[in-house]
Amino acid sequence: DQQVKQNSPSLSVQEGRISILNCDYTNSMFDYFLWYKKYPAEGPTFLISISSIKDKNEDGRFTVFLNKSAKHLSLHIVPSQPGDSAVYFCAAVPTGTASKLTFGTGTRLQVTL
Amino acid sequence: EPEVTQTPSHQVTQMGQEVILRCVPISNHLYFYWYRQILGQKVEFLVSFYNNEISEKSEIFDDQFSVERPDGSNFTLKIRSTKLEDSAMYFCASSEAGLASAYEQYFGPGTRLTVT
């Protein structure tokens, strides 16, 4: 079974500091990884992605790191802002599928003043 | 900025009734998807649609479900005979053509389906 896991249900960070959100996957059969942000009563919003052949991708305040040997990816947000408070989902595209996303359970980030 | 829209925002229906959830994907996107999220659970893939046919579907997407692109702008999900366990938030998504960009899916705000 191809699983994507986010073991921390919540995270609280002070404004201006770094937020690090983590995600683990249970096998190597994923081609692409993505992070989505979700506010209440809205759909997930695409943030950033990374191909399985890379180990880092950066876009403004957001950086995604992929450690294939550890089957682990992380999202770094620097500096964190109050508007970043939301639920963050990691998602992965299994090898051999066109574009089916397998989601993690989400981590609720609270950025405090 | 272009966005995916969904109607209605909330649908209440009785068990056994048919429901149709509607979506308008981003206009230049060619891949379309439905996902659902049961309260407190993960977002789950239901089906993907490209070139007027289903390209992938999950085990959730059984004979009670169907999708259609009835015209150049709408994309619909039909549940023929709703069950209590179909109560969930249903998200439509779309993505551009091309390999890498097809993975970057843009989601609508969702339709909350409540089956009583």
- Domains contained in chain B, CATH given: 5-98 (2.60.40.10)
Closest-CA residue in chain B for A32? B103
Q: Please state the rounded mean pLDDT for residues B56-71.
A: 94
Residue A27 pLDDT > 90: no
Residue located via tokens 């943030």: A47
Of B47, B46, B49, B43, give the one whose Cα is nearest residue B29: B49
Phi, psi for residue A83 in degrees, rounded to 5: -70, -10
Q: In this complex, which of B35, B41, B103 lies closest to A32 when CB atoms are compared? A: B103
Containing domain of residue A98, as a range?
A: 4-112
CATH number at residue A19: 2.60.40.10
Q: What is the pLDDT at residue B99?
A: 59
What's the gap in Å between the CA of B61 and the closest CA on chain A? 13
> Confidence band (pLDDT; 50, 70, 90) for B2?
confident
pLDDT tens track for A64-98: 999 999 999 999 999 999 999 999 999 998 887 76
Q: What is the pLDDT at residue B70?
A: 87
Other CB atoms closer than 10 Å to residue A112's CB: what's the count? 11
Q: What is the pLDDT at residue B12?
A: 98
The full DSSP string for A13-67 is EETTS-EEEEEEESSS-EEEEEEEEE-TTS--EEEEEEETT-SEEEETTEEEEEE
Q: Hey, of A52, A59, A100, A103, which one would you mutate to test binding to chain B, going by the most B CBs within 10 A of its CB?
A: A100
Residue A31 pLDDT > 90: no
**For chain A, how many structural domains are there in total?**
1
Cross-chain residue pair A98–B95, CB shorter than 8 Å: no
